[in-house]
Structure 1
C-alpha cells in the first residue's frame, strides 16, 4: 500500500508541469505579436523611410554688378526610393531681376538630378543683399526650403559718347535736323536723358574771312530734342532714327534770315558739342 506522501507528491508535479506549459505559451504569443507588428513596415521586420527629396545648392552666395547675371548649381537628392520629375521654384528676387531653371523640370532616377538656376539683373536692380528661397516639388513630395544669397553692387560705369551733324546744308531761314548717334561701350542697355546740342565754334570760308564777313553762334537757333525720355541705348552704336524717333523730334538747327549773316555764314562749318545723362552702363 503506497505511503501518503507519495500520493500528494505526484499531483503536485503535474500541476507544476502544467504551469510551465502555460508560461511557454504566453511567451510564444508575445513573440509572435512582436513579429506581426514589425511586418507592417516593409514585411521583413525593419522600418521603411518615406520618399523624399532634398536640395543642395552651390555656391550659397553670389555677388554681381547691376546688369550682370548670376548662376547657382542645384542638385536634387532623392531618398526613400523616390523616382520622378521635380519642379523647382524660387522666390525673394529683387526688383528688376528674373530667374529661370535649366532644365525647367529635373528628372530624378535612382540617383540625384541637377539643374542650373540663372538669375538676370538689370541696370535698375536695387543695390543690396537678397535671400533667395528655393523649393522642389513632385506631387505631394516637397523638399525643405533652401536659402542662398544674392548681392547686387553698383556696376563700373563707362562713358557713352554722342555725335552727329546737320543732315543737310544750312541756309538762311531754314532748319536742318541732327540725327544724334549714341555709342554705348557697356554690355547692357543704358537710359539716356537730357540731350542737348550747342554750337561751340564756327569756321567761316576763306572768302568770308578775307572780306571780314562775321558769323556767330547767335546767328543760329537750336531747338533741342523733343521726343520722350528715357532713350534706351543698347550696347554698341544706335541713333535717334534707329530708336524710332521721327526727324521732326530730332534737334533742329536753323540759320536766321538776316542780311547781316548772309555772306559771313554762307558755307560755314559748325562745331557742335553734345551732352546727355546715361544710367545703367
Structure 2
C-alpha cells in the first residue's frame, strides 16, 4: 500500500515574557522603544549646595547721645560648607561718626562666628536716625546687605565757662586789662564770640565800711573786648593771650576818678560776671 505523506504543522508558540526589573537605589527611565536606563540618585540630587555667608545683627536698632557710642553684635553664619575669613564693612554713617569691628576679620567655619561693631559719635554729630548698611566679604563671595538703625540724640553738654581776674589793684583813673580764661569741657573746638564783662558787686575794705566810705559798681567802667572774632577755644583751657591777642584788645576795668570814691573804693574787691557764645565746629 502506498504510503501517504502526512503534513505536520507545528503550532506557532508565541511567548510573551514580561519581566519586572527591580534595581535597588536606581532611578528607572523607560523610553518608548522599550529600552530601560538607570540613573544614579544620592538623595540630594546632582546639584551641589552653593557656599554662602549670612549676617545677623542684634539689636537691630540702637541710640546714642552725642559724644557717646553704640554697640551691635554681628554673627556671621556660613552655609554650603563655607570655611574662610570674612571682612566686615559698613556704610551710611552720619557726619562725625566712626565705626570699628572687633575683630576686623572674622574666621568662619564650620560653624558661625561673631564680632562686635562699635559706632562712636562726637558732640558735633547731627541729631537724627540713620540707616547703616553692613555686609561681609570673602574673596568674590559677598553676603546680602543687612540694615540696622542708629538714632543720635542730644546729650547733656556742660557749657564752656569764662573767667578772669584783675592782675593788680585799681586806683582812681587807672585801667587794668583782663586776660580772659576759656574752659571748654567738650571734645571739639568752639568758636567763641560776643564776650562781655560786667561789674556786678563791690566788697569794700573794713576801714571803708567803718568810715562809711561808699563804693559801688557805678564807680567803675568797662571797656569790652575789641579783638577779632571768633576766638578759638580748643578742648580744655585756653586764654586770650594763648590766642595771641594783644592785651590792648582785652577787656579793661577802669576806676573812675571822683572825689567820692577816693577812699571808699581803695583796696576794694570786685565781683565780675562774664558771658559769651560758643559754637561747635
TM normalised by structure 2 equals 0.73
Map of 2:224 onto structure 1: 223
CA RMSD of aligned residues (A): 3.9
Aligned-residue offset at 1:59: 0.4
Are the aligned partners of 2:102 and 2:116 in contact in 1 as well (CA < 8 Å)? yes
SS at match of 1:148: strand
Map of 1:110 onto structure 2: 110
Map of 1:66 onto structure 2: 66
How does 1:143-222 map onto structure 2 within 5 Å? Answer: 143-159=143-159, 161-170=161-170, 172-182=173-183, 184=185, 191=190, 193=192, 194-206=194-206, 210=211, 212=213, 216-217=217-218, 219-222=220-223
How does 1:69-80 map onto structure 2 within 5 Å? Answer: 69-80=69-80
- 1:94 has 2:94 as partner: yes
Between 1:265-274 and 1:218-227, the stretch displaced more is: 218-227
Cα displacement string for residues 134-163 of structure 1 (whole angstroms, at most 9, x for unaligned residues): 111111100001011111222234455443
Q: 1:245 aligns with which of 243, 246, 250?
A: 243
Are the aligned partners of 2:55 and 2:75 in contact in 1 as well (CA < 8 Å)? yes
- 1:255 has 2:254 as partner: yes
Cα displacement string for residues 207-239 of structure 1 (whole angstroms, at most 9, x for unaligned residues): 5664847565453333327365364464xx634
Distance 1:76 1:239, change over 3 A: same
Distance 1:169 1:110, change over 3 A: farther
Map of 2:8 onto structure 1: 3
- Distance across 2 between alignment mates of 1:63 and 1:216: 50
Q: Going by fraction, where is strand more abundant, 1 or 2?
A: 2
Q: Going by fraction, where is helix more abundant, 1 or 2?
A: 1
Q: Which runs of 5+ in 1 are unaligned?
A: none
- Distance across 2 between alignment mates of 1:2 and 1:273: 147
- Distance across 2 between alignment mates of 1:55 and 1:81: 16
Distance 1:130 1:230, change over 3 A: farther
Kindly tell me the number of residue pairs found equivalent between the two proteins.
260
TM normalised by structure 1 equals 0.73
- Distance across 1 between alignment mates of 2:233 and 2:34: 90
Aligned-residue offset at 1:107: 1.8
